[in-house]
Amino acid sequence: MSAAHDLSGLPQAASADLQQIVTFRIDDRTLGVEVEAVREIKGWQPTTPLPNAASHVLGVINLRGAIIAVYDLRRRLGLGPAEVSRSSVVIVVDLGERLAGILVDAVSDIIDMPRSSFRAAPDIAGEGDDALKALLVRGNDVIALLDLSAIVRETPI
Amino acid sequence: MDALAEIRGIYFDECDEFTGLLEGYLAAMAEGRATSEDINGAFRAVHSIKGGAGAFGLSALVNFAHRFEACLDALRSGRVSVHAAPIDVLLQAGDVLTNLVQASRDGATLPIDSGLLEALEAFCGGTPKQAVPAEFAIEPEPAPAEEAAPPAPSRRPVTVRITPDADLFRRAIDPRVVFEALAGFGALELTCDTSAIPPLDSLDPLTCHLAWTAVVNTDATPGAIVEAIDCFLADHEFTVLDGSDADHASAPANQGDTPSPQADAVAQPGPAASADAAAVAKPEPAAVTAPGRRAGGGTIRVDLDRIDKLMNLVGEIVITQSMLTERATMLPKREAAVFVDALFSLNRQTRELQDNVMAVRAQPVKVVFQRLPRLVRELERSLGKKAELKLAGEDTEVDKTIVEELADPLIHMIRNAMDHGLESPEDRLAAGKPQEGVIRVSAEHRGSRILISISDDGKGIDRDRLIEKARSRGLIAPDVDLTPEEADNLIFHPGLSTAAKVTDVSGRGVGMDVVRRNVEALGGRITVESSPGRGCKFTLGLPLTLAVLDGMIVRAGAERFVFPLSSIVETMQLDSRSVEPLPGGRSVLRLRGEVAPIIRLRDLLGIRALGNEPNVVIVETDSVPRLAIAVDEIVGQQQVVVKNLESSFRRVEGVSAATILGDGLVALILDVDALPAMTQTSRRAPPMTGMYGAA
Q: For residue B243, what pLDDT is reported? A: 63
CA end-to-end distance (rounded Å), chain B: 60
Among A47, A51, A81, the residue with its CB nearest the CB of B693 is A47
Choose among B315, B660, B688: nearest Cβ to A51. Answer: B688
Lowest mean pLDDT among B167-171, B235-239, B376-380, B636-640: B167-171
- State how far the Cα of A86 lies from the Cα of A84, in Å rounded to an integer: 7
Residue B275 has pLDDT above 80, yes or no: no
B599 interface with A at CB cutoff 8 Å: no
Q: Which tops the pLDDT comparison, B570 or B336?
A: B570
The alpha-carbon gap from B691 to the nearest alpha carbon of chain A, in Å, equals: 9
What is the value of ipTM here, to two decimals? 0.83
* pLDDT value at A79 more than 70: yes
Q: Can you give the pLDDT at residue A77?
A: 86
Residue B680 phi, psi dihedral angles, 5° rounding: -70, -35
CB B366 within 8 A of CB B414: no
Residue A76 predicted with pLDDT over 70: yes
Q: Would A71 be classed as within a structural domain?
A: yes
Are residues A62 and B666, on separate chains, in Cβ contact within 8 Å? yes
Give the gap in angstroms from C-alpha A21 to the nearest C-alpha of chain B: 25
Give mean pLDDT, residues B602-615: 84
Q: How many CB atoms lie within 10 A of CB B481?
A: 8
The Cα of A16 is separated from the nearest Cα of chain B by a number of Å equal to 33
Q: State residue B255's pLDDT score.
A: 41
pLDDT in tens, B279-316: 444 333 333 333 333 444 577 888 878 887 887 788 77
Task: Give a yes or no: residue A89 inside a domain.
Answer: yes
Q: Tell me which of A37 and B481 has the higher pLDDT.
A: A37
* pLDDT of the residue at B254: 41
Q: Which domains does chain B have, with CATH numbers?
A: 2-127 (1.20.120.160), 156-293 (no CATH), 304-363 (1.10.287), 365-543 (3.30.565.10), 548-681 (2.40.50.180)
CA distance B344 to chain A (A): 22
φ, ψ dihedrals at B461, nearest 5°: -75, 135
Interface test with B, best of A60, A70, A98 (most B CBs within 10 A): A60
> Which residues in chain A touch residue B671, judged by CB atoms under 8 angstroms apart?
none
Say if B512 is an interface residue toward chain A (CB within 8 Å): no
| Distance, CA of B463 to CA of B458 (rounded, Å) | 14
Kindly state whether residue A156 falls inside one of the protein's structural domains: no
Section B273-282 average pLDDT? 40
Task: Render pLDDT for A91-126 as a digit per residue (tens, 0 to 9).
Answer: 999 998 899 999 998 888 888 888 888 888 776 555
pLDDT surpasses 90 at B455 = yes
Confidence of residue A34 (pLDDT cuts 50, 70, 90): very high
Judge residue B187's burial from the number of C-beta atoms within 10 Å of its C-beta, 0-12 exposed, 13-18 middle, 19 or more buried.
exposed
Buried b (16+ CB within 10 A) or exposed e, B250-266: eebbbebeebebeebbb
CA distance B318 to B298: 30
pLDDT of B650 above 90: no
* Average of per-residue pLDDT across B164-179: 78
Reply yes or no on whether the pLDDT at B79 is more than 90: no
Tell whether the model's pLDDT for residue B41 goes beyond 70.
yes
Q: What pLDDT does A123 receive?
A: 64
Say which amino acid occupies B254.
N
Q: Which residues of A touch B (CB under 8 A)?
A: 46-53, 55, 57-62, 64-69, 72, 81, 84, 97-99
Could you tell me which of B636, B615, B618, B638 has the C-alpha nearest to residue B628? B618
CB A122 within 8 A of CB A112: no
Residue of chain A nearest B670, judged by CA positions: A51
Cβ neighbourhood burial of B426 (10 Å; 0-12, 13-18, 19+): exposed
Tell me whether residue A57 is in a domain: yes
User: Number of CB pairs < 8 Å for A and B?
Assistant: 98
- Comparing CB atoms, the residue among B607, B686, B692 nearest residue A58 is B692
DSSP states of B541-596 as a string?
EEES-SSEEEEEEEEETTEEEEEEGGGEEEEEE--GGGEEE-TTS-EEEEETTEEE
Fill in the amino acid letter for B190.
Answer: L
Q: Which of B250, B342, B335, B232 is nearest to B286 (CA)?
A: B232
**Predicted local confidence at residue A69, as pLDDT:** 95
pLDDT above 80 (res A153): yes
Q: Is the pLDDT of residue B641 over 90?
A: no
Question: Smallest CA–CA separation between A77 and chain B, in Å?
Answer: 17
Contact B647 A46 (CB under 8 A): no
Least trusted range by pLDDT, from A79-83, B606-610, B685-689: B685-689
In chain B, the percentage of residues whose pLDDT exceeds 90 is 9
Provide DSSP, B144-179. GGGTTSPPPP-SEEEEEEE---TTTTTTT--HHHHH
Chain A contact for B605 (CB, 8 A cutoff)? yes
Q: What's the rounded mean pLDDT across residues B647-667?
A: 86
Which residues of A are less than 8 Å from B655 in CB distance?
Answer: 50-51
- Output the pLDDT for position B186: 83
Least CB–CB distance from B315: residue in A65, A68, A99: A65
User: How far, CA to CA in Å, does B665 sit from each of B573, B604, B693?
Assistant: 27, 21, 9
pLDDT over threshold 50, residue A5: no
Q: Do A59 and B689 touch (CB under 8 A)?
A: yes
Q: Is the pLDDT of residue B141 over 50?
A: no
B650: closest CA among A77, A97, A73? A97
CB contact under 8 A, B648 and A53: no
Domain region containing A93 = 2-151
Question: Does the pLDDT of residue B6 top 80, yes or no?
Answer: no
d(CA B243, CA B158): 5
SS3 assignment, position B293 = helix
Q: How far is CA B26 from CA B36, B65, B91, B95, B437, in A?
A: 12, 15, 6, 10, 20
Q: Which of A26-35, A116-125, B217-226, B244-253 is most confident?
A: A26-35
Over residues B189-211, the pLDDT tens digits come to 888 888 888 888 778 777 888 88
**What CATH number should be reported for the domain holding residue A35?**
2.40.50.180
The angle, 0 to 180 degrees and rounded to 10, between the axes of the packed helices B59-76 and B87-105 is: 150
**Nearest CA of chain B to the CA of A15: how many Å?**
33
Q: How many domains, in total, are found in chain A? A: 1
Distance CA(B259)–CA(B274), nearest Å, equals 22
